[in-house]
Structure 1
Amino acid sequence: MNASPSPSVQQAGSAGPDALRTLVGRPLPAVMGVLNITPDSFSDGGDFIAPDQALARARAMIDAGVDIIDIGAESTRPYKGAQPVTAADELARLKPVLADIVALGVPVSIDSMKAEVVAFALAEGAAIANDVWGLQRDAGMAPLVAAKGVPVIVMHNRDSVDSAIDIVADMKAFFMRSLDIAAKAGIARDKVVLDPGIGFGKTAEQSMIALARLRELDMFGLPILVGASRKRFIASVSPSEPKERLAGSIAAHLIAAQKGAKIIRTHDVAETLQALRVANAIESKQ
């Protein structure tokens, strides 16, 4: 990382087709703020499900300097316990608030594994699709993304944890399948961002291995997003509840940035951005 002033909200706020390309081209990683409008997300379930609470949270993240707001209306918590919901449920949560959040001017990504939900969000002005199943769960997702010409975040996931596997090899194979699906659908390669899926289908040890070996994903030549915020692997090192894991989240995200991550997804925008800026400033003095 090289020292560089962070852009203003106005600079980051262009939600056009090249917004993501601009953000990942900067020396400092872009910061994506998590906005869960769900009753059961692992860390903040129920906190922002009311439209006025969600809008206030989005404004607060913008004031803190967020680059992208990632809005999700179904818990995809990376452990057992999330309750699957229908597309209608997701849409009912999104419709009262999404257009107002988009109107704030910062690029919005839609965190959903359902093409129907992503289609609605893109029509409302969302700029990025964020699929926690990497185009491999809903057959309509890749054609939709291709038709809309938007960037897509492809996350590694597994239906079950297997502590015996080489998790990085599994990630590479998964991403190869996702990229093949993307190419066949007509998604431009430069529209794809890869996410190792910290905590998803992984033991705590495997999540840490994924972070430690993040540079191995450079083989794809694509931007990497890391979302380690408040994840359970932190508690395996330092016992804690989700909202007590800020320091561990920052530690993981600084390591991810050092290993080339271009986007950091976090619940704690101001603190994460401060940590990235300070680390960046110190490194620039070498």
Structure 2
Amino acid sequence: MNVKKRDNLTKTAICGIINVTPDSFSDGGQFFAVEEALKQARKLISEGATILDIGGESTRPGSSYVVEIEEEIQRVVTVIKAIRKESDVLISIDTWKSQVAEAALDAGANIVNDITGLMGDEKMAHVVAKAGAKVVIMFNPVMARPQHPSSLIFPHFGFGQTFTEKELADFEKMPIEDLMEAFFDRALSRADEAGIAQENILLDLGIGFGLTKKENLILLRDLDKLHQKGYPIFLGVSRKRFVINILEENGFEVNPETELGFLNRDTASAHVTSIAARQGVEVVRVHDVASHRMAVEIASAIRLADEAENLDLKQYK
């Protein structure tokens, strides 16, 4: 499966998450060991994932765990090499550090998933361009509004300060969609200057990163506005806090320590995937591939109704 510019006849691809960290917000430590990560990779692929996203550092709210670059490289490269020995599945490296990205690409990764949108490490765009790799450029509201109440619970992203004090002050006043536009304009300019081909770029709305509940919902409601920029969308909403908040407000069990609470989180996340797939989002990044694949198949069938066979359905027994 090739991730390419929007094609109305292409189903949404599923990217399965493998966090090789001891502190990820939803599966921390579970796939830290190489053998466990490899086992999970096989499971995700068998359930329908065509991309695997490998991450060696947690970015969950409240995280204070800082991974040294060499340690992060060791974590992800070992897993990537193990997966690559037995599969040609597309592999995404989830990192904002150019040295980690370069090592992962050398080990067999195909995509760099940069949550700082090429803004956290000035060398990242050049690493991606040199490798001819694909890149996910994420809108990072935490970087654009570091003093916003929704940003303060996140760790610092990037080396140094990316924006000037005046820019940060201007960003604070912007409606969220204008802020996203300004961020992407800067990031895409950096990508162009480095020589990254447009067809190798995907955009991520940054759902769950320093956004209010309303802002998350607005960005998801207006997905087509982002599509109008002419780039594929890479969307990560799986088990995000705002989804859980909606469930909790409406009386659903959300405690992950209970079987129902854990299931509800994935079911609700899959509903968002269904909405995204109906709108032609190219890639969804998820934890539970099986439930999201079901959502993709149903939503894609509706979106691609004109291509369906005009069959008479048999009566149920």
Aligned to 2:214: 205
Return closer, same or farther for 1:24/1:267 CA change in 2, 3 Å cut-off.
Answer: farther
| 1:271 counterpart letter in structure 2 | S
Distance in 1 (alpha carbons) for counterparts of 2:304 and 2:109: 35
Superposed displacement of residue 259, structure 1:
2.5
Distance in 2 (alpha carbons) for counterparts of 1:113 and 1:20: 20
Return closer, same or farther for 1:284/1:138 CA change in 2, 3 Å cut-off.
Answer: closer
Is 1:251 the counterpart of 2:260? The answer is no
- Structure showing greater radius of gyration is 2
**Normalized against structure 2, the TM-score is what?**
0.80
CA contact under 8 A between 1:150 and 1:191: conserved in structure 2? yes
Distance in 2 (alpha carbons) for counterparts of 1:23 and 1:266: 20
- Count of residue correspondences: 268
Aligned to 1:279: 299
| 2:54 counterpart letter in structure 1 | I
Superposed displacement of residue 281, structure 1:
2.6
- Among 81, 84, 94, the residue aligned to 1:99: 81
Distance in 2 (alpha carbons) for counterparts of 1:85 and 1:34: 19
CA contact under 8 A between 2:279 and 2:303: conserved in structure 1? no
Query: Percent identity between the aligned chains?
Result: 40
Aligned to 2:312: none
CA contact under 8 A between 2:14 and 2:286: conserved in structure 1? yes
Aligned to 1:268: 288
CA contact under 8 A between 2:97 and 2:121: conserved in structure 1? yes
Aligned to 1:111: 94
Superposed displacement of residue 279, structure 1:
2.5
Distance in 1 (alpha carbons) for counterparts of 2:195 and 2:37: 34
Return closer, same or farther for 1:26/1:57 CA change in 2, 3 Å cut-off.
Answer: farther
Return closer, same or farther for 1:151/1:56 CA change in 2, 3 Å cut-off.
Answer: same
Aligned to 1:87: 69
Distance in 2 (alpha carbons) for counterparts of 1:149 and 1:203: 35
How is 1:17-36 mapped onto 2 (pairs within 5 angstroms)? Answer: 19-21=2-4, 27-36=10-19
| 1:272 counterpart letter in structure 2 | H
How is 1:108-187 mapped onto 2 (pairs within 5 angstroms)? Answer: 108-159=91-142, 160=146, 161=148, 165-187=174-196
After superposition, the CA RMSD in angstroms is 2.0
Return closer, same or farther for 1:61/1:89 CA change in 2, 3 Å cut-off.
Answer: same
Superposed displacement of residue 136, structure 1:
0.4
Deviations 1:220-269 (A, max 9, x none): 10001111000000122112246341121011111122223110110011
Q: Bigger CA drift: 154-163 or 60-69?
A: 154-163
- Among 214, 220, 223, the residue aligned to 2:223: 214
CA contact under 8 A between 2:277 and 2:300: conserved in structure 1? no
Distance in 1 (alpha carbons) for counterparts of 2:227 and 2:56: 31
Distance in 1 (alpha carbons) for counterparts of 2:225 and 2:21: 34
Distance in 1 (alpha carbons) for counterparts of 2:198 and 2:187: 11
**Normalized against structure 1, the TM-score is what?**
0.88
Question: What stretches of structure 1 of length at least 5 have no aligned partner?
Answer: 1-11, 13-18
Is 1:42 the counterpart of 2:25? The answer is yes
CA contact under 8 A between 1:129 and 1:152: conserved in structure 2? yes
SS in 2 for 1:109: strand
Aligned to 1:8: none
Superposed displacement of residue 65, structure 1:
1.3
Distance in 1 (alpha carbons) for counterparts of 2:141 and 2:10: 32
Aligned to 2:200: 191
